[in-house]
């Protein structure tokens, strides 16, 4: 298994409020978080989320329930900080995380960051967007094509820290040699549609991962880079031996 991180504040935002986590032991854990709120509050929220994950101890006999409880714990910590300090009122963060254990990916997700699987040249979104436009899609009020350019596509329906109640999406999926996983904040997938992302990885599938990994970010910047851009690309070759690079 090899993996690469790309992060960039983009061309519009003054600060990068995204955070990410890669933890190799006891089992590989990956996460991206997109913060929101007042002055630097978004950065605080996303950092709190990944730091909580980093220090968490998971029960590998019941990973999904352990992930759910951990994310709920991170939510309480961020929410309590908002309640205790008025300068953080309204802050929150998305969180998309996954643990690779015994050839399976165990996912925990809140918000509109995403986890994708690329298998056999097909891009599959594994997470559900907790957003207004996704609710409109589900209710068949708009199409997915209309959603991509919808003026309210950045309105999310839940995030860590905004409420003491949270519904965490959890799921698991089997992994195979050659699979590629993409964890991304919406700074990437709000600018590049699924077909564009898929085309990039299909075109460069035989290239070294480091050569490929900066291309989605570069294309996003060419389109204006309106938001912070953070993503992790993981190629499943073998679950033994890791190679880790930060780009951007």
Q: Tens of pLDDT along 44-93? A: 999 999 999 999 999 999 999 999 999 999 999 999 999 999 889 889 99
Instruction: Provide mean pLDDT across the span 222-231.
Output: 95
- pLDDT for position 102: 92
pLDDT number for residue 145: 66
On the question of pLDDT at 214 being above 80, the answer is yes
CATH of the domain at 93: 3.60.40.10
Q: Is residue 247's pLDDT more than 70?
A: no
232 versus 247: the higher-pLDDT residue is 232
What pTM did the predictor assign?
0.91
Total domains, the chain: 1
Per-residue confidence (pLDDT) for residue 49, from 0 to 100: 98
Q: 105-147: per-residue pLDDT in tens?
A: 999 999 999 999 999 999 999 999 997 777 676 777 777 766 6
Mean pLDDT throughout 181-197?
95
pLDDT over threshold 70, residue 3: yes
Domain that holds residue 112: 2-247
Instruction: Find the range with the poorest average confidence among 2-11, 117-126, 145-154, 217-226.
Output: 145-154
Mean pLDDT of the chain: 89
Q: Rounded CA gap, 212 and 138, in Å? A: 33
Sequence-separated (6 or more) residues with CB below 8 Å from residue 16: 7, 8, 9, 10, 43, 228, 230
When pLDDT is averaged across residues 19-33 and rounded to a whole number, the result is 97
């Amino acid at each position: 298994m090899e993996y690469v991180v790309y992060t960039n504040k983009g061309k519009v935002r003054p600060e990068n409020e995204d955070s990410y986590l890669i933890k190799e032991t006891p089992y590989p854990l990956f996460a991206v978080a997109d913060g929101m709120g007042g002055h630097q509050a978004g950065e605080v929220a996303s950092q709190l989320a990944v730091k909580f994950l980093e220090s968490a101890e998971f029960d590998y006999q019941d990973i999904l329930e352990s992930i759910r409880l951990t994310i709920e714990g991170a939510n309480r910590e961020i929410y309590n900080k908002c309640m205790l300090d008025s300068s953080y009122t309204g802050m929150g963060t998305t969180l998309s995380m996954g643990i690779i254990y015994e050839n399976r990916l165990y996912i925990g997700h809140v918000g509109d960051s995403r986890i994708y699987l690329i298998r056999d040249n097909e891009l599959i979104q594994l997470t559900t967007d907790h957003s207004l436009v996704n609710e409109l899609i589900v209710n068949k009020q708009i199409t997915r094509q209309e959603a991509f350019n919808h003026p309210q596509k950045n309105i999310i329906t839940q995030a860590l820290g905004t409420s003491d109640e949270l519904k965490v999406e959890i799921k698991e999926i089997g992994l195979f040699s050659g699979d590629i996983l993409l964890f991304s904040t919406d700074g990437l997938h709000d600018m590049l549609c699924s077909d564009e992302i898929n085309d990039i990885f299909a075109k460069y599938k035989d290239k070294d991962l480091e050569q490929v990994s900066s291309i989605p970010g570069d294309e996003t910047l060419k389109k204006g880079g309106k938001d912070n851009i953070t993503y992790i690309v993981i190629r499943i070759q073998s679950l033994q031996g890791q190679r880790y690079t930060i780009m951007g």
